[in-house]
Amino acid sequence: MSSKRDLKVAILIMVISMVTGIICYASFTPPASENPVRIMFQNKAGKVLFTHYIHTGDYTEDCLDCHHNLEYDESYNCSECHEETGDEDMLSRADSMHQTCMGCHEDIGAGPVECNSCHSL
């Protein structure tokens, strides 16, 4: 019966190396980017290309300028709170973007404020 025992040992070794392989693969896969390079927003007014990386490097240092919720909630997704249709307590997703984007462009006096200079694609 020793050959049956050998087989069990062989299978055990195979399973162990497979699990080790999967763990190694998972731990060496690089993490998703923390600062996306650019984001293309698809919407009915025309696509908007947003240079996220340049904005956070050259135009502001502070993630909180746009992700204002990070102090109490870690989500980077505006839609988690600003849904497609807003109400008096909560801006819609598009209004939250318009106020953030155009607000800064107007304050600084640089960056597009005309509809079709953002919705240009």
- Residues found near ligand HEC in the complex (CB under 6 A): 34-36, 39, 41-45, 48, 50-52, 54-56, 59-60, 63, 65-69, 73, 75-82, 84, 91, 93-94, 96-102, 104-105, 108, 110-113, 115, 118-119
CB 41 within 8 A of CB 121: no
Residue 24 or 70: the one with the smaller Cβ distance to ligand HEC is 70
Q: How far is the CB of 30 from ligand HEC (least distance, A)?
A: 15
47-81 burial by CB neighbour count: b if 16+ within 10 A, else e?
ebeeeeeebbeeeeeeeeebbebeeeeeeeebeee
Residue 17 or 117: the one with the smaller Cβ distance to ligand HEC is 117
